């Protein structure tokens, strides 16, 4: 005799893949990817982050916007920096924060992702900050959470890392202002990089003059130019006259996959040195999403040099994450009012 039990109906997919990021009244509910946000929302997030910058400078670094809300950091892939800045952002908004490192708990016991999710949902969570090593994981979770829950993508596979891209464009905007005359070069392992994909979308959403990617063919995904970038294989050519250089982290296991011969050759051809940086505009800034491999993709003298804004990126990251959390939760406050 079969046992019958009723499962919740799974919603069929909408025709617009990113419409899921907004609620029925067009308010931001989830942040899964930069795609579909459009310049209005990206600008609104950056403007809100600008307001939160002053909070960070105060002696009491707290505002009560998310008081009584619970934010759950759901990390299926280890991370220190991203998790910490999300945690700080939530705390500065007065939310309660729960950190769950799933790779070491349920997943190894064979509990499905959906079961893990339902259990945490039952603890009355209001927001999930999710990192997962599979592309589409945040989107999957957003499709299955209860209507009141918001999902923020803190990195899914090679797909997207939208808050990182937002903090990058936030940093660029604070220094450079207008995006339309800018040339931005993204250098290194584009193939495996969710950061690069989100940066490209964010830069193009803000109408950046030219977005370049610089990498050997093995580290570029197929048809990358269709994302709206100009492709360079020669770093010296690609850095010429750029206003912003974004270096990407190179994972050491790429050598074993046959994508690169050695770290030494990669550094010689694609590592950022003072000599190569001199080809960019004199006021060019150097960025890196961290953690940087010094001597692999970036020379220490550049990482610590006057043009580097790597540490500013980190502090800006808190304000940007506060902005995204506040905007996603705003609809709840409006509904309760």
Partner 1 sequence: MSLPPNLGIDLDPVRHPEGCRPGLDCERWHIAGARVIDPAHGVDAIRDVFLDAGRIKAYDTPPEDFAHARRIDAHGRWLIPGVIDLWARLREPGAEHKATVASEAAAAVSAGITTLCLPPDTDPVLDTVAVARFVKRRAQLAGRARVLCIGALTQGLRGELLSEMAELAEGGCVALSNTHLPMKDLRLTRRALEYAATFGITVIVRPLDASLSRNGCAHEGPIATRLGLPPIPVSAETAPLAQLIALMEETGARVHVLGVSSAAAVRMIERARRDGLPLSASVSAHQLWLSEMDTDAFDPNCHLLPPLRSLRDRDALRQGLADGTLGTVFSDHQPHEEDAKLAPFPETEPGLSGLETLLPLTLKLAEDGVLPLNEAIARLTRGPAEALGLTDCGGLAVGQRADLALIDPDAAWSLDADTLISAGRNTPFHGWDFTGRVSHTWVSGRLVHGAAEPAAS
Residues that bind partner 1 (CB under 8 A): 7, 10, 12-14, 17, 35, 112-114, 132, 134-137, 139-140, 144, 156-160, 194, 197, 221-224, 226-227
Nearer to partner 1, 92 or 139 (CB): 139
Residue 229 C-beta: closest distance to partner 1, Å: 11
Q: Provide the edge-to-edge strand list for the sheet that holds 285-287.
A: 230-232, 210-214, 183-187, 244-247, 285-287
Nearer to partner 1, 116 or 316 (CB): 116
Say if CB 116 and CB 318 are below 8 A apart: no
Length of the chain: 337
Phi and psi, residue 73, nearest 5°: -85, 110
DSSP 160: B
Nearer to partner 1, 95 or 246 (CB): 246
Structure tokens at 141: 């979770």
Residue 134 C-beta: closest distance to partner 1, Å: 4
Residue 118 C-beta: closest distance to partner 1, Å: 11
Nearer to partner 1, 109 or 226 (CB): 226
Residue 325 C-beta: closest distance to partner 1, Å: 23
Residue 158 C-beta: closest distance to partner 1, Å: 3
DSSP string, 168-196: HHHHHHHHH--STT-EEEEES--TT-HHH
Residue 293 C-beta: closest distance to partner 1, Å: 21
Element (H, E) at 75: strand 70-75
Spell out the alpha helix ranges (H) of 183-234: 194-205
Structure tokens at 66: 């998310």
Say if CB 13 and CB 4 are below 8 A apart: no
Nearer to partner 1, 169 or 200 (CB): 200
Nearer to partner 1, 32 or 329 (CB): 32
Structure tokens at 276: 């190569």
Number of H helices, E strands in the chain: 11, 9
Residue 7 C-beta: closest distance to partner 1, Å: 7
Nearer to partner 1, 23 or 35 (CB): 35
**Separation of alpha carbons 155 and 195, rounded Å:** 8
């Amino acid at each position: 005799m079969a046992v019958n039990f009723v499962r919740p109906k799974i919603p069929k997919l909408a025709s617009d893949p990113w419409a899921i990021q907004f609620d029925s009244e067009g308010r931001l509910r989830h942040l899964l990817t930069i795609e579909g946000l459009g310049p209005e929302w990206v600008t609104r997030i950056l403007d809100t982050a600008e307001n939160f910058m002053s909070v960070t400078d105060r002696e009491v670094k707290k505002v009560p916007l998310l008081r009584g809300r619970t934010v759950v950091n759901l990390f299926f892939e280890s991370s220190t920096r991203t998790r910490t800045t999300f945690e700080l952002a939530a705390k500065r908004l007065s939310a309660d924060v729960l950190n769950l490192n799933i790779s070491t708990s349920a997943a190894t016991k064979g509990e499905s992702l959906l079961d893990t999710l339902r259990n945490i949902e039952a603890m009355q969570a209001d927001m999930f900050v999710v990192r997962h090593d599979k592309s589409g994981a945040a989107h999957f979770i957003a499709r299955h959470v209860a209507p009141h829950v918001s999902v923020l993508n803190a990195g899914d596979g090679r797909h997207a890392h939208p808050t990182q891209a937002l903090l990058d464009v936030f940093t660029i905007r604070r220094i450079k202002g207008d995006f339309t005359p800018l040339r931005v070069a993204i250098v290194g392992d584009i193939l495996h990089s969710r950061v690069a994909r989100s940066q490209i979308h964010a830069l193009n959403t803000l109408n950046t003059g030219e977005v370049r990617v610089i990498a050997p063919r093995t580290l570029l995904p197929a048809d990358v130019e269709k994302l709206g970038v100009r492709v360079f294989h020669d770093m010296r050519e690609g850095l010429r006259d750029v206003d912003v250089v974004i270096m990407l982290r190179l994972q050491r296991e790429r050598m074993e996959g046959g994508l690169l011969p050695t770290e030494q050759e990669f550094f010689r051809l694609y590592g950022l040195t003072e000599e190569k940086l001199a080809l960019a505009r004199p006021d060019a800034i150097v960025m890196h999403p961290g953690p940087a491999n010094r001597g692999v993709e970036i020379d220490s003298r550049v990482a610590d040099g006057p043009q580097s804004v790597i540490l500013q990126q980190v502090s800006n990251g808190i304000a940007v994450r506060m902005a995204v959390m506040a905007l996603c939760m705003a609809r709840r406050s409006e509904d309760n009012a």
